[in-house]
Amino acid sequence: MSSQDIQKIDSLVSQLNASKDASTQTVLKKAEELIKLSLEIDYAPGLGAGHYFKGYANYKMSNYVSARYSLIESISIFEKLGDELHIAKSQNIIGQTHYFEGEFEKALEYNALSLETHLKYDKQINIAYNYNNCGNVYLSLGDNPASIEYYQKALTIFQELNEEYASGMVYNNMGAMHFRLNEYDKALELFYKTRDISDKLKHKHLYATSLNNIGNIYHYQGKHEQSIEMDLQALDIQREIGDKYGEALSLGNLGGTYNSMNISDKAIDCLTESISMRQTIGDKTGESEASLELGKLYRKLKKPQRAKTFIENSIALAESMKLYTQLHVSHQEYSELLEEIGEYQKSLEHHKLFYHYWQKVFSDESDKKIKNLHVLYEVDKQKKETEIYRLKNIELADLNMEKNEFLGIAAHDLKNPLTGIILNTSTIRRNIDKFTKEDVIKRIGKIELTAERMQMIIKNMLDINAIEEGRLNLLYEEFDIKLLLKKMIEDFSLAAKQKELKVNFESDDGKVILKTDGSSLSEIIENLLSNAIKYSPQGKTVHVKCYNENGNAVIEIKDEGQGFTEEDKKSVFKKFARLSAKPTGGEHSTGLGLSIVKKLTDILGGEVTFESEPGLGSTFRLTFNAS
């Protein structure tokens, strides 16, 4: 196994990471090439990545069984390598394949496993995708309050990270929710946002999806010609990129619109082809919807037996997946059909079922939750606007902003581990009869670790207040800084390994002794090391130095990251500073770390300085009097 072979494979992995949303056939071809090259030299990381991308390509082409086969193979390889983050990526896509097949319990299960790992490593962008997937599942299950809660969580993170595509995706999903609530104007506004973002980014898949959804609104507004135009445009794109799920969706939409226009032959052709495609790819939700539409058409054409066949199929599929929204409309249609052909007893039974599922979907509780969310949002918005106008004094306004920043960041950092606790307890409750005693103990252990993480977050958030109010209890002892640095570098080895970073340590031959408060010095170094890793691109080196100089103990921590602009340099040590550099692995930043470094260094009688240029990284230098 030569370094040249490994470099070639790693380069191919990088290409796939950068272009996985390109042509699915291209991704599939490159993935198979990656698998072949990795097998030739027995290179496990490349082989695991190859199976992941092969699974991803098949998922995009709606070949869900093939996708799962490759993704499970990928997980098996990454488990041997101990690579939890790549396992979580594969679990996420497996969850999506189950979602599109209507297996919502399995979709939530795999999404929960993926989310648990992403919360553990604080991978914000992946956490946001998991939240979005939860929103999709709950939307399909008719739980609108849960879906909007998860969509809002996802959107908040994506916007913080300036992820345009992902934000557009969530706008699209939120539009779908408003569409189901018959709020067409709000839905259309969100779909237009998605269309504009995807057009700007030249993202064909999302662009076609937005056209489908805009066409749906036009259909319900009676603008049938415009609706057909949207769906035909989407259909062309979906056939071009090999999106079978999207193609089936467009055909179903066209069938419904042609039915409304009484163009029966085209409606039957489109709906029949849509049902056939959905059966092939395993899209039970779509098959249920298209079957109902075809049943309505045959009912209108006075062909009751054919109508019964397709509506019964729609009901059976919806029952198997607990699709309450679909069940409520299907039973209503079936009840009316049975009444028309004189089967009054059966008609009454299905009317009762229609009302039963109507209550499930539009219960007072669900309606109240949605209204409360809107009311709380509007009240909070009004309060903030009133407060801004009231605080004319600049100093008071700044203090108020700092308070809001603090509370917002505290809530943000605590909600992720809290979600992990909720998911674990929910999993235990749902599977208590299936889990062994060891399974339960393992889950409880994870809950305990997550609670400890929350406790640490609270401690860190309160540190800044303790420092400013002079409430620190300092204990001065002599330390060999070299030993402390080596231990802390070891503590960060896993985080560095995840980003393929090297941490290079250099020091004087002798000891570097300093009498200081060990806890405070550890926190200073921890913040600087954490930042160096957080803001370094993959494959770079973090340099740590420790030496004696003119009676001083000196520590230098240098990264090869994005560096600071001249504007950044003015705010480096300010609380909640929003600098131009962004974490390279989707990590989260509170904006407090460097402020804590500065304040603690001052308290210990030291000095912290830095040198930095945009694109050339940053070097932080700590100087303490060692005499």
Position 569 in a domain: yes
Q: Is the pLDDT at 499 greater than 80, yes or no? A: yes
Domain count, the chain: 3
CA distances in angstroms from 359 to 88, 177, 367, listed in the order given = 37, 18, 11
Whether 490 and 619 share a structural domain: yes
Position 460 in a domain: yes
**Which letter, b or e, does each residue of 564-576 get, where b requires 16 or more Cβ atoms within 10 Å of its Cβ?**
beeebeebbbebb
Q: Would you call 562 exposed, middle or buried from its count of C-beta atoms within 10 A (0-12, 13-18, 19+)?
A: buried
Q: Which domain holds residue 284?
A: 243-371
Whether 274 and 337 share a structural domain: yes
Position 105 in a domain: no
**Is residue 5 helix, strand or coil?**
helix
The 10s digit of each residue's pLDDT in 42-99 is 999 999 999 999 999 888 777 788 899 999 999 999 999 999 999 999 999 999 998 8
Q: State pTM to two decimals.
A: 0.50
Position 85 in a domain: no
Pairing mode, if any, of strands 552-558 and 513-517?
unpaired
- Model pLDDT, residue 71: 94
Give the span between the Cα atoms of 118 and 125, in whole angstroms. 9
Position 498 in a domain: yes
Give the span between the Cα atoms of 599 and 603, in whole angstroms. 6
- Model pLDDT, residue 292: 94
Q: What is the CATH number of the domain that holds 428?
A: 1.10.287.130
Whether 340 and 406 share a structural domain: no
Give the span between the Cα atoms of 130 and 235, in whole angstroms. 28
Confidence of residue 600 (pLDDT cuts 50, 70, 90): confident
| Domain final position from 452, 468, 484 | 468
At 520, the amino acid letter reads S
The 10s digit of each residue's pLDDT in 297-350 is 999 999 999 999 999 999 998 888 777 788 888 999 999 999 998 888 888 888
Phi, psi for residue 608 in degrees, rounded to 5: -120, 130
Confidence of residue 39 (pLDDT cuts 50, 70, 90): very high
| Domain final position from 446, 468, 490 | 468
Section 121-130 average pLDDT? 93
Position 190 in a domain: no
Residue 82: how many other CB atoms lie within 10 Å = 9
Q: What is the CATH number of the domain that holds 257?
A: 1.25.40.10
